[in-house]
């Protein structure tokens, strides 16, 4: 295999031959400076070609000083700015990222194995989210705190009242991110945090850390944010949680097992560090009954299109992807045939080939995990579309971390707990029939809380009723009817205006939702004073 240094000097495109990566070790940014780890580093690979790209390492970093500098220097500088001023910095960040978009696309293809359309979901999604919060923040005005509701009188005389206020927490926001969205996963958290006036330390997932690191580097080099406001640590997460203090916050996206470790850490248990978790989610798509054959076909077409898209976008590596598909018993066979027919058209392989519509999983570890999960599900289901027979384009099956989409099915979902419990984080979904709406809703709830469910139908009243029934167990309910077929944003697309998160198994967290996202980074306090004092506030 070509060494990282040789590859960078001979095979890499020009933008990768800059001095900061000629050693093939990506530096970390803390305490206002770029610092490389002192260890050999963990290699990052091209999941299609198997080529080593760069390395990341955090060995030897002074973590206590990194957190202190961010908390004290970065936090003080951010809080000195108004919401409108911080929003302007978000807008400036958008311009820098847009100017370097081509670089990010090349890194995404090389390190994540994604086709251009999937790269857009990640990169453009992150930039769009930043832009959204820039606009929202501008509307908050030139103030340093927010009022929460109206003042409330505390007695018969209205002179003495209580006013709730929101002020930025005087801590640091630690982000421990997942591998599937190295761009969007960074900015959907950083945008509301920075707008709130809270400095961030980003720990990207190692396998795809390159894109996150490069984006942070471009923004840091542009000199947009005050020193200490934006920091990144690549490599091991060892010791990060130990640095957290009572007014810090931590946001994690990943497995339920790791989430449990975070929740049990002394920083959380003893120091009451605020935690936001987004974990496993067995999301559902539900086809509602329709009154006529024409309406039935229209709704079925919408479901088939969305299910196949969700199975194949980013090779199914989305926390919001559809994992369970529920249809009326009479439509089970037709739904299976229609979904399988669309999946059969999906070309899989090297994302550099324009004919490829689905690229690779991000790593050999992820490929093995998907294969193991799929093997388990196959024991309890029928294979309705077998992706293993799909040939790869421009990719060696022995090297590439590619796996074609597979549709499974079970006619007995009531007595098949595995299909409700096991999430395969790849291009896999399971079809199942239901008898009536109470049965369908009960099956969906066996997911124990999910990020999103999508509904397909033509009866507005029925769709509305089902959405409300599922709202308590889902962070988001996405309703697709023929009138919005060309307008809806997609089952799995997380829009910054809507809530992202979910109860129960999904982690119990909340992100985005417009200005609601700022609540996580603020502290609410009640100020009890005379009306004259409150008027000044």
Residues 24 and 137 in one domain: yes
* Residue 11 pLDDT greater than 80, yes or no: no
Residues 255 and 320 in one domain: no
Residue 334 within any structural domain of the chain:
yes
Asked about 511 being catalytic, the answer comes back as: no
Residues 212 and 125 in one domain: yes
Distances (CA, A) of 295 to 41, 87, 292, 336, 517: 57, 46, 5, 18, 38
Residues 186 and 149 in one domain: yes
Residue 357 within any structural domain of the chain:
yes
Residue 529 within any structural domain of the chain:
no
Provide the domain limits for residue 240: 4-279+513-524
* Residue 436 pLDDT greater than 60, yes or no: yes
Selection from 159, 183, 170, 206 nearest residue 57 by Cα = 206
Could you tell me the CATH number of the domain that includes residue 110? 3.40.605.10
- What is the predicted pLDDT for the residue at 17? 39
pLDDT band at 29 (very low <50, low <70, confident <90, very high): very high
Could you tell me the CATH number of the domain that includes residue 418? 3.40.309.10
Of the candidates 105, 188, 310, 319, the residue annotated as catalytic is 319
Cα gap 467→494, rounded to integer Å: 18
Question: If DSSP codes are grouped into helix, strand and coil, which group holds residue 445?
Answer: helix
Residues 131 and 207 in one domain: yes
Residue 215 within any structural domain of the chain:
yes
Residues 269 and 298 in one domain: no
Residue 180 within any structural domain of the chain:
yes
Residue 533 within any structural domain of the chain:
no
- What is the predicted pLDDT for the residue at 244? 97
Residues 273 and 289 in one domain: no
The residue with tokens 């690549």 is 234
Residues 248 and 341 in one domain: no
- What is the predicted pLDDT for the residue at 389? 81
* Residue 537 pLDDT greater than 60, yes or no: yes
Residue 501 within any structural domain of the chain:
no
- What is the predicted pLDDT for the residue at 12? 45
Single pTM value for the model:
0.93
Largest CA distance in the chain: 80
pLDDT band at 7 (very low <50, low <70, confident <90, very high): very low
Residues 470 and 519 in one domain: no
Cα gap 118→314, rounded to integer Å: 5
Of the candidates 105, 188, 278, 511, the residue annotated as catalytic is 278
- What is the predicted pLDDT for the residue at 485? 96
Residues 483 and 518 in one domain: no
Residues 287 and 265 in one domain: no
Among 41-45, 149-153, 385-389, name the one with the lowest average pLDDT. Answer: 385-389
Contacts of 257 (CB under 8 A, 6+ apart): none
Q: What domain count does the chain have? A: 2
How does pLDDT run across 243-268, given as a tens digit for each residue?
A: 999 999 999 999 999 999 999 999 99
pLDDT band at 46 (very low <50, low <70, confident <90, very high): very high
* Residue 118 pLDDT greater than 60, yes or no: yes
Average pLDDT score over the chain: 94
pLDDT band at 280 (very low <50, low <70, confident <90, very high): confident
Residues 86 and 230 in one domain: yes
pLDDT band at 487 (very low <50, low <70, confident <90, very high): very high
* Residue 10 pLDDT greater than 80, yes or no: no
How does pLDDT run across 12-22, given as a tens digit for each residue?
A: 444 343 433 33
Asked about 402 being catalytic, the answer comes back as: no
Residue 537 within any structural domain of the chain:
no
**CA dihedral for 125, 126, 132, 136, sign (positive or negative):** positive
């Amino acid at each position: 295999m070509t060494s990282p240094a040789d590859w960078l000097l001979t095979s890499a495109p020009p933008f990768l031959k800059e001095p900061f990566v000629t050693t093939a070790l990506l530096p970390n940014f803390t305490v206002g400076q770029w610092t490389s780890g002192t260890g050999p580093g963990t290699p990052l690979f091209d999941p299609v070609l198997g080529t080593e790209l760069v390395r990341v390492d955090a060995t030897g970093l002074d973590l206590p000083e990194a957190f202190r500098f961010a908390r004290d220097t970065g936090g003080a500088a951010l809080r000195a700015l108004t919401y409108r001023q911080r929003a302007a910095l978000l807008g400036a960040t958008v311009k820098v990222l847009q100017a370097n978009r081509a670089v990010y696309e090349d890194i995404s293809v090389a390190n994540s194995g994604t086709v251009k359309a999937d790269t857009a979901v990640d990169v453009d999604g992150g930039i769009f989210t930043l832009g959204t919060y820039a606009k929202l923040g501008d509307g908050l005005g030139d103030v340093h705190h927010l009022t929460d509701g109206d003042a409330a009188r505390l007695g018969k005389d209205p002179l003495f009242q209580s006013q709730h206020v929101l002020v930025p927490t005087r801590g640091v926001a630690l982000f421990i991110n997942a591998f599937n969205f190295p761009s969007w996963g960074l900015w959907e958290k950083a945008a509301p945090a920075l707008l709130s006036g809270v400095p961030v330390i980003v720990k990207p997932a190692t396998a795809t850390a390159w894109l996150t690191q490069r984006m942070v580097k471009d923004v840091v080099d542009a000199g947009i944010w005050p020193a200490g406001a934006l920091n990144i640590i690549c490599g091991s997460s060892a010791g990060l949680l130990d640095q957290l203090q009572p007014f810090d916050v931590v946001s994690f996206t990943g497995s339920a097992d790791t989430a449990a470790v975070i929740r049990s850490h002394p920083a959380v248990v003893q120091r009451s560090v605020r935690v936001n978790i987004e974990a496993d989610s067995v999301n559902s798509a539900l086809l509602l009954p329709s009154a006529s054959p024409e309406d039935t076909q229209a709704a079925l077409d919408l479901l088939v299109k969305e299910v196949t898209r969700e199975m194949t976008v980013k090779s199914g590596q989305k926390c919001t992807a559809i994992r369970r598909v529920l249809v009326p018993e009479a439509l089970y066979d037709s739904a299976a045939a229609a979904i399988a027919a669309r999946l059969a058209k999906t070309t899989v392989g090297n994302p550099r080939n324009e004919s490829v519509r689905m690229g690779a999983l991000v790593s050999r570890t992820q490929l093995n995990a998907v294969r193991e999960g799929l093997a388990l599900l196959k024991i309890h289901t029928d294979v309705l579309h077998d992706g293993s027979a799909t040939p790869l384009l421009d990719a060696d099956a022995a090297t590439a971390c590619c796996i074609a989409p597979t549709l499974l099915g079970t006619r007995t979902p009531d007595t098949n707990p595995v299909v409700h419990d096991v999430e395969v984080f790849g291009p896999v979904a399971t079809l199942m029939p239901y008898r009536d709406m109470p049965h369908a809703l009960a099956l969906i709830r066996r997911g124990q809380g999910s990020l999103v469910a999508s509904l397909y139908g033509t009866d507005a009243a029925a769709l509305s009723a089902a959405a409300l029934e599922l709202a308590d167990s889902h962070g988001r309910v996405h309703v697709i009817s023929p009138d919005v077929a060309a307008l809806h944003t997609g089952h799995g697309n997380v829009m910054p205006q809507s809530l992202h998160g979910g109860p129960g198994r999904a982690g119990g967290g909340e992100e985005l939702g417009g200005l609601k996202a700022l609540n996580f980074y603020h502290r609410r306090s009640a100020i009890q004073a005379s009306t004259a004092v409150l008027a000044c506030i």
